[in-house]
Amino acid sequence: MNYRSLVGFFLMLGISNAFISHPVKMKINHRAFFSSSDNNADYESTLANNIRRTDIQQFLTQRSIQSFMFLLVQVRDPHTSDWVENFLDSNNLLAFHGTGALNMTRFEYWDSYFLDMMEQPRERLNIRTTCRQGGGGLRARLGGSKNNPFLQDQGKYIDNHVDIDPDALVPRILSCREQIGREWAKDVMLIKMANDEIISNYEYKQKVDKSPSPAFDRTAMQILNNHMSMETFAPSPLRKSSYDLLILLSLHESIHRLLREYKYEGEKTAVSFAWLRDFFIEKVDESFDGKVNYGSGENFIEEVLVSAPSVKTIEGGIVELVDPKAIACDIIRTRSEVLSDWQEILQQVPEFHIDLRKKLLSKQINQVGKDEDTTDSFECIGAFE
């Protein structure tokens, strides 16, 4: 197997669920990607797909949409939430705890969702509920047994209309996105703080107890709780679950970067590359793709740390002793770099929205005079901020 085939294989890792139309866990044999083409165009394509899979901007859009849907349900507007989910071709998105939930084939970039939504026509949803006589008149009910003698006028209904204006939804989701971006710019530094303490805490616990459980203290969430207790503003919806997924996604991205680094260094790190690649393949479905359990990122690091040193032979007859602890140290080092890079991106989120807001404003201005209801779109700007 040549160099480009191996790199092509790695670049395909972790994207198995990036292109499904609904957030469910998909069982895939990642070793099938060993047969990747040597074509340079395929290499560039898989590299782009891999970058999108762990792109912080894509993930910020996903969590912004999920948070917005949560807010809609809280204000008793599940119909708009359902419309957003249907627009995304997703299923049970609000209950999905994982990364890579959105269709990255249809929506190639982080702003593709908003640009596409702006092109959608307005809709009027008809919501029909059965009703019964009672009190001062007809009262809508959510359902009940048709044999219930206390329910009268079974054949009567109330029709309610819900207007969906995609142009009005976009700025509301962008407002959520900006708030979450401001929080994450701080949260990634909290994760970095906990990340930098993992090795020293692990070594300390090894001195006290040769087989501690857990292998290191899970302090990341505690740090967030302490930070939130001192904040003077209300947090965004789903903040703690988003924080848990940030821990996971930063680990995912750091593994990708480290594998590329190992591969580019050649024979010097060839055995470490092979060991980490195989370990990642074994755990990717359980720990990274699809719906995951809370703490999956920290569990993965612990599994690497507690793995026993072993002798590994790779192609070319290279035989070396693998030190999993050293690999874990490299992952943690790389993750610190990832988190610092992400902070710079997250601090600029409002600036990234400027062009989108300009396009939306131009579209709304052009609509004035064509539709008497256009002004309603302007009233929604900043909602949920």
What DSSP element (H or E) covers 94? none
User: Which residues, 6+ apart, have CB-to-CB distance to 83 below 8 Å?
Assistant: 123, 125, 164
DSSP string, 300-339: HHHHHHTSPPEEEEETTTEEEEE-HHHHHHHHHHHHHHHH
Q: CA triplet 139, 145, 148: central angle to 5 degrees?
A: 80
d(C-alpha 13, C-alpha 367), whole Å: 45
Helices 166-195 and 354-367 meet at what angle, rounded to 10?
A: 170
Residue given tokens 């967030």 in the structure block: 224
pLDDT in tens, the chain (385 residues): 443 344 333 333 333 333 333 343 333 333 333 333 445 666 677 777 788 889 999 999 999 999 999 999 999 999 999 999 999 998 889 999 999 898 888 998 999 999 999 999 999 988 877 665 544 444 444 455 556 665 555 456 777 888 999 999 999 999 999 999 999 999 999 999 999 999 999 999 988 887 778 889 999 999 999 999 998 888 998 999 999 999 999 999 999 999 989 988 888 889 999 999 999 999 998 899 889 999 999 999 999 999 998 888 877 777 888 999 999 999 999 999 999 999 999 999 999 999 999 999 998 888 776 665 544 544 444 444 4
State residue 332 phi and psi, 5-degree precision: -65, -40
d(C-alpha 184, C-alpha 20), whole Å: 26
Question: Is 100:53 a contact under the CB 8 Å cutoff?
Answer: yes
Q: What is residue 228's three-state secondary structure?
A: helix
User: Which residues, 6+ apart, have CB-to-CB distance to 82 below 8 Å?
Assistant: none
State the pTM of this model: 0.80
Question: Is 273:263 a contact under the CB 8 Å cutoff?
Answer: yes
d(C-alpha 289, C-alpha 171), whole Å: 30
